[in-house]
Amino acid sequence: MTMHEITVTETRLRGLFTINLVIHEDSRGSFREAYQAAKLEALGMPKLGPVQMNVSENIRPGIIRGIHAEPWDKFIHVLHGRAFAAIVDMRPESPTFSQHLTFELDRTKALFVSQGFGNAYQVLESGTIYGYLVNKHWSPGQRYTSIRFDDPDLGIVWPLPVALDDVSDKDRHNPLLRDAFAEKFLSSA
């Protein structure tokens, strides 16, 4: 697939952007600029200022990681394979709090996820490599907001069946959104 122009589009969840990347292919393979700050910012993506890159290598389809809302912005790009991403607005002050959008990600599409959104994904192909740039350092021992991937209030429809060993014990035991943000649910009742 060859696309001619990179595009940046803000979704209906303000602070969540999709980025369609330019892929150059020939008989040798392909090349892409996965992240180029000046171009992306000129197209409307917020400044990221990355300080750390994280890479998750996934051995089989079905694996789910998340829903995590760390205190930083993320630029997410699947380096190899395919993943189904679910992004949840976990900003209590946001008019779209608790709403989510889903995306199929591959090497042609990236996401900019602002701080306060929860991020989760399910691996769709063996060998999927999920990478993301962040603008703050991870700190051991710090608690980050997380919620359950199967929260019934969210109703995320994962494309593949979920086996017990597809989700970490930690992620299986994350609280539900209404427990993590009890004050928000009490005020809206």
Rounded percentage of the chain residues whose pLDDT exceeds 70: 96
Clarify whether 24 is annotated catalytic.
no
Model pLDDT, residue 85: 98
Q: Whole-model pTM?
A: 0.93
Model pLDDT, residue 142: 86
Model pLDDT, residue 128: 98
Choose the catalytic residue: 68, 77, 121, 130. Answer: 68
Model pLDDT, residue 72: 96
What are the pLDDT digits (tens) for 73-94? 999 999 999 999 999 999 999 9
Mean pLDDT of 40-60: 97
pLDDT greater at residue 142 or residue 20: 20
Q: Is 2's pLDDT higher than 50?
A: no
Model pLDDT, residue 139: 86
- Under 8 Å CB-to-CB from 21, ≥6 apart: which residues? 3, 6, 32, 33, 34, 77, 107, 108, 109, 110
Choose the catalytic residue: 4, 35, 132, 144. Answer: 132
Clarify whether 132 is annotated catalytic.
yes
Model pLDDT, residue 179: 97
Q: Is 163's pLDDT higher than 50?
A: yes
- Type and span of the H or E element at 182: helix 182-187
Model pLDDT, residue 4: 67
Model pLDDT, residue 189: 53
Mean pLDDT of 45-70: 97
Q: Which of 30-34, 64-68, 172-176, 184-188 has the lowest mean pLDDT?
A: 184-188
Strand arrangement of the beta sheet that strand 64-69 belongs to: 100-105, 83-89, 117-123, 64-69, 145-146
Among 178, 70, 182, CA closest to 120: 70
